[in-house]
């Protein structure tokens, strides 16, 4: 099973780092992320639990997004009432399944009671379990002890008793929080005054009572299956009213321009900023004056004018698409509105003193691999070296597989591509990024080929088997660690020089050695500015590029051979 994204280890216990999306951070107290315990020291079990927990978080994020702009319900149909009731019964029984079957959850029954109360108030909440006294050797096969079963039965009986009293009294208010939560999970706003709402509440109260009675039947040993979660389509917006959200949904599936995951996410974040100020605003209601006011407001939301400008421009791009492509509105009322921003930092080559400081870090001089999971263990040593001797992008290097290191025309090379069987999760930035780069002899001296041979012999697919990889941004976690590495040697953690500055460092070396800009482009994967005949029909072999790669030299660096794989393979 593949390693879950965000899996990390503290001591001998596993945790799962979950990044909270920017648009939802306010719903989580402004947190950037959480790192819940998986309650196990076993790597294989951590993989299973990590995937399951991440799926639950993703489901919660999706549900919370639907709650940000719920559709009002003019009436509650019998079909919707039945769906809400079925979802409540499903939630109660599913939570009981989770709490009953996991020995780590049963290890602290105070958590069990707290979870039951939390779920009663909000069935969408995720319970983070980290019992400190959980048994190390719990195998999950023995089931609950007599004491645990008694405590669970007592708790369930008390909740069932409350549900019975509320059912007998027709106390519809008791089930209202659950009904509103389930309606929001469907993207709907439940109004008790809407026609059919009281009938729906009564049906949901009955389902809640039935579910808890079934839980007590489980306590007595009866077999009660948990039904599947029912789904219902979100009520569509009136056809006559179009919003920027409708424009975004059309734009993201259009084929006019390529749209990577980062691009989609950045436009979505900018749109949510706008929607926070103008919820459910129709396209035709967007005015020039509104744009001027929004421009002033968005400038206060970011630390730099450039970031504010980018956010504004992304909203304007949707308005352009609505006017020019979809023709859902006569014109873009914000055309010409902008935020002045100057580039305060430009990427530059690394200076000699900066490179000397960086590669004097213990990871390069003694092969002391960092414990930080973001560093990717051996990748912490090899990825920066590959960067400085190839000029490749960090994402291109972080996604490398063992099969991407091969010999072509008798020359050891790395293959940078998103093609190949089993490599659908790989990506390169541009078409020019697909390339074969000869290995610099310094990398070979330091033992890179021996490292690759060791990974191949161990049966690994990825070249950095312990590296955390994001699907939409391959080098995200590694890039954060690289900033920490820079700070450890006295360089700025953020800002320049950064990893991308390696690309600006190698090109002048090749240029000074007499190699053309086109050759430099072939090595680093830049889009070439040559003629159509050169770009499309020119065929370059690795032998043509090898001299240029060998021109990438740093005489002031005295890198010792410290890799345990040096000389292997």
On whether residue 87 sits in a domain, the answer given is yes
How many Cβ atoms sit within 10 Å of the Cβ of residue 23? 20
Same-domain pairing of 463 and 431: yes
- pTM confidence score: 0.45
On whether residue 426 sits in a domain, the answer given is yes
CB 432 within 8 A of CB 525: yes
Q: Rounded to whole angstroms, how far apart are CA atoms 88 and 121?
A: 12
CB 462 within 8 A of CB 402: yes
On whether residue 276 sits in a domain, the answer given is yes
Cβ partners under 8 Å of residue 130, min gap 6:
36, 37, 39
Only one residue has tokens 């926070």, namely: 276
Determine the length of the chain: 569
Same-domain pairing of 398 and 427: yes
Cβ partners under 8 Å of residue 141, min gap 6:
none
Same-domain pairing of 168 and 216: yes
- Per-residue pLDDT reduced to its tens digit, 307-334: 899 999 999 999 998 988 888 888 888 9
Residue where a domain terminates, one of 61, 86, 108:
61
CA nearest to 178, candidates 249, 124, 250, 215: 124
- CATH classification at residue 456: 1.10.443
Same-domain pairing of 422 and 489: yes
On whether residue 188 sits in a domain, the answer given is yes
Q: Rounded to whole angstroms, how far apart are CA atoms 419 and 561?
A: 33
- Per-residue pLDDT reduced to its tens digit, 68-101: 666 677 888 999 999 999 999 998 998 888 777 7
Same-domain pairing of 214 and 230: yes
- Per-residue pLDDT reduced to its tens digit, 126-141: 555 444 444 444 455 6
Q: Six-digit token pair at 490?
A: 């006295």
**CA–CA–CA angle 557, 558, 559 (5° rounding):** 100
Structural domains in the chain (count): 4
Same-domain pairing of 293 and 419: no
On whether residue 566 sits in a domain, the answer given is no
On whether residue 559 sits in a domain, the answer given is no
CA nearest to 378, candidates 434, 439, 446: 446
Same-domain pairing of 399 and 356: yes
3-state secondary structure 30-92: CCCEECCECCCCCHHHHHHHHHHHHHHHHHHHHHHHHHHCCEECCCCCHHHHHHHHHHHHHHH
On whether residue 561 sits in a domain, the answer given is no
Same-domain pairing of 383 and 439: yes
Dmax (CA) of the chain: 90
Structure confidence at residue 544 (pLDDT): 81
Same-domain pairing of 7 and 114: no
Same-domain pairing of 393 and 512: yes
Residue where a domain terminates, one of 61, 83, 103:
61
On whether residue 198 sits in a domain, the answer given is yes
Residue where a domain terminates, one of 189, 213, 235:
235
Q: Which residues of the chain, if any, have pLDDT below 70?
A: 1-2, 23, 63, 65-71, 102-141, 231-240, 255-262, 342-345, 418-433, 471-472, 526-540, 567-569
CB 37 within 8 A of CB 50: no
Give the three-state DSSP class for 377: coil
Structure confidence at residue 111 (pLDDT): 58
Q: Rounded to whole angstroms, how far apart are CA atoms 543 and 522?
A: 12
- Per-residue pLDDT reduced to its tens digit, 473-494: 778 889 999 999 999 999 999 8
Same-domain pairing of 82 and 194: yes
What's the domain range around 285? 244-326
Same-domain pairing of 435 and 533: yes
């Amino acid at each position: 099973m593949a390693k879950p994204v965000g899996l990390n280890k503290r001591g001998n216990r596993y945790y799962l780092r979950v990044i909270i999306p920017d648009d939802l951070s306010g719903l989580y107290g402004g947190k950037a992320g959480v790192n819940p315990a998986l309650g196990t020291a076993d790597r294989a079990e951590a993989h299973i639990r990590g995937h399951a927990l991440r799926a639950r978080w993703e489901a919660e994020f999706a549900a919370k997004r639907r709650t940000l702009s719920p559709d009002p319900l003019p009436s509650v149909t019998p079909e919707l009432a039945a769906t809400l009731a079925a979802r409540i019964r499903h939630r109660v029984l599913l939570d009981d399944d989770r709490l009953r079957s996991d020995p780590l959850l049963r290890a602290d029954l105070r958590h069990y009671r707290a979870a039951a109360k939390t779920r009663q108030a909000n069935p969408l909440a995720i319970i983070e379990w980290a019992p400190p006294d959980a048994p190390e050797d719990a195998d999950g096969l023995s089931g609950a002890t007599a004491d645990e079963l008694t405590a669970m039965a007592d708790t369930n009986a008390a909740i069932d008793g409350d549900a019975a009293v509320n059912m007998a009294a027709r106390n519809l208010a008791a089930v209202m929080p659950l009904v509103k939560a389930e309606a929001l999970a469907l993207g709907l706003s439940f109004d008790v005054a809407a026609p059919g709402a009281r009938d729906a509440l009564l049906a949901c109260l009955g389902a809640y009572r039935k579910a808890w009675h079934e839980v007590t039947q489980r306590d007595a040993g009866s077999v009660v299956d948990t039904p599947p979660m029912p789904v219902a389509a979100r009520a569509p917006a009136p056809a006559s009213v179009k919003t920027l959200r409708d424009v975004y949904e059309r734009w993201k599936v259009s084929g006019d321009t390529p749209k990577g995951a980062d691009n989609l996410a950045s436009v979505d974040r900018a749109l949510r900023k706008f929607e926070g100020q103008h919820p459910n605003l129709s396209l035709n209601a967007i005015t020039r004056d509104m744009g001027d006011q929004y421009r002033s407001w968005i400038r206060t939301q970011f630390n730099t004018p450039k970031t504010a400008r980018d956010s504004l421009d992304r909203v304007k791009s949707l308005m352009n698409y609505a006017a020019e492509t979809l023709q859902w509105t006569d014109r873009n009322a914000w055309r010409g509105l902008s935020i002045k921003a100057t580039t305060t930092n430009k990427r530059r080559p690394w200076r000699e003193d900066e490179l000397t400081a960086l590669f004097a870090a213990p990871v390069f001089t003694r092969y002391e691999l960092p414990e930080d999971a973001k560093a990717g263990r051996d990748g912490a040593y090899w990825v920066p070296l590959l960067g400085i001797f190839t000029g490749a992008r960090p994402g291109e290097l972080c996604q490398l597989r063992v099969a991407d290191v091969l010999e072509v025309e008798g020359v050891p090379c790395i293959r940078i591509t998103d093609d190949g069987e089993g490599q659908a999760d790989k990506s390169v930035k541009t078409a020019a990024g697909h390339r074969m780069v000869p290995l610099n002899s310094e990398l070979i001296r330091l033992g890179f080929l021996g490292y690759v041979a060791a990974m191949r012999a161990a049966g690994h697919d990825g070249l950095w088997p312990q590296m955390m990889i994001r699907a939409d941004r391959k080098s995200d976690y590694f890039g954060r660690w690289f900033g920490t590495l820079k700070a450890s040697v006295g360089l700025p953690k953020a800002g320049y020089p950064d990893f991308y500055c390696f690309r600006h460092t190698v090109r002048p070396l090749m240029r000074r050695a007499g190699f053309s800009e086109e050759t430099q482009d072939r090595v680093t994967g830049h889009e070439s500015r040559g003629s159509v005949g050169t770009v499309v029909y020119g065929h370059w072999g690795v032998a043509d590029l090898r001299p240029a790669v060998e021109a990438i030299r740093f005489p002031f660096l005295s890198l010792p051979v410290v890799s345990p794989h040096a000389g292997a393979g």
